Amino acid sequence: MQVTLECLGISQPLCVVSGSCVGLELTLDTNYVPFGPVVQDSQSSRRILLINSGDMGARFSWEDKFGPNFTLTPLDGYISPGMQVRIAGPGDLHIYSTLHL
């Protein structure tokens, strides 16, 4: 943006102001993860992507409060700007049905 000085009807460019910002933006590729019905003693897997569309890298970590029927890996790591991290086992989020009714 150019800043102009006007004096006695004469306009003169005074300076140019420009700038940028650095921001962090981490998102998941989905808002929810539908597993559907899971048969006892079997598993259902879903993939989730953590996406860094910001200007700077970031460390991430998940709290391991999922219990024995649910795994999520990696639990922590670093994601560079413009990169994606596949969350869960070998690319899948797992829910294990070991509940006995």
Domains of the chain in sequence order:
22-96 (2.60.40.10)
The chain-wide mean pLDDT, for the chain, equals: 78
Tokens 């024995």 belong to residue? 68
Contact 45, 88 (CB under 8 A): yes
Give the phi and the psi of residue 42 in degrees, each rounded to 5. Answer: -130, -175
CA atoms of 50 and 65, how far apart (whole Å): 19
What residue type is assigned to position 29 of the chain? D
What residue type is assigned to position 18 of the chain? S
pLDDT for 32-80, tens place per residue?
777 777 777 777 777 788 999 988 999 988 887 766 667 777 888 999 9
Of residues 38 and 3, the one with the higher pLDDT is: 3
Tokens 């539908």 belong to residue? 34
CA atoms of 5 and 22, how far apart (whole Å): 31
Q: What is the pTM of this model?
A: 0.62
